[in-house]
Amino acid sequence: MRYIGIDAPESQGERLGSEASAANADLVEGRTLYLEKDQSDTDPYGRLLRYVYVGDLCVNAELVRLGFARARAYPPDVKYQELMTRAEADARSAGRGLWAAAPTATPGSASAAACPQGCVTPPPGCLIKGNISKSGERIYHVPAGRSYEQTKIDTAAGERWFCTEAEALANGWRKSKQ
């Protein structure tokens, strides 16, 4: 299942990924959940798309408010996008989670090798560009690809660097058709 309206770091290899997973577990494990559909039933990978509630708490928005996810519109599923946007503004202004000062990866460090969410320039050996299209599709570009040079990475928008194609695929990105 995929939470609608948010983009959380992957638990493997992205800054705060394991913390985001733990925060989600704290919010939902052992609790009765209510799932709400928006327009789409599933994403292109066949995962259910839902807003998740514990009582009156929208878990999607709470993860954003806590700084463990970014607000992301994936039309046509935008019923609560204003709620997500307000939650992100709250997290940003409070400097929580993803909006807290991030440690800088130095070449050769373990965090650089893992290609964390915060990489602005590629760490050594991590030259695959993970780009998010205007429609929200996650596409990766290899150095020999036709669109590689003009593709820019905006980490604030959830885009990132990958060290291998296998890593990109494992994180739900598809290879560019060009």
User: Can you spell out the DSSP letters for 33-71?
Assistant: -EEE--S-SB-TTS-BEEEEEETTEEHHHHHHHTTSSEE
Percent of residues, the chain, with pLDDT higher than 70: 84
Task: Quote the CA–CA distance of 142 and 148 in Å, as a whole number.
Answer: 6
pLDDT of residue 152: 85
Q: How far apart are the first and last CA of the chain?
A: 29
Per domain, the residue ranges of the chain are 2-99, 110-175
pLDDT band per the 50, 70, 90 thresholds, residue 106? very low
Whether residue 108 has pLDDT greater than 50 = no
φ, ψ (nearest 5 deg) of residue 173: -100, 150
Q: CA neighbours within 13 Å on the CB side: how many for 92?
A: 9
Whether residue 139 has pLDDT greater than 80 = yes
Pick the CATH number of 2-99 from 2.40.50.90, 3.40.190.80, 3.40.50.1000, 3.30.420.240: 2.40.50.90
**Is the separation of the CB atoms in 149 and 176 below 8 Å?**
no
Q: Is 166 helix (H, G, I), strand (E, B) or coil?
A: helix
Q: Per mean pLDDT, which range of 49-53, 117-121, 149-153, 156-160 is the poorest?
A: 117-121
Residue with tokens 């070449």: 107
Which of 5-14, 17-26, 30-39, 167-176 has the largest mean confidence? 30-39
pLDDT in tens, 145-159: 888 888 888 877 788
User: Which residue has better confidence, 9 or 32?
Assistant: 32
pTM, rounded to two decimals: 0.59
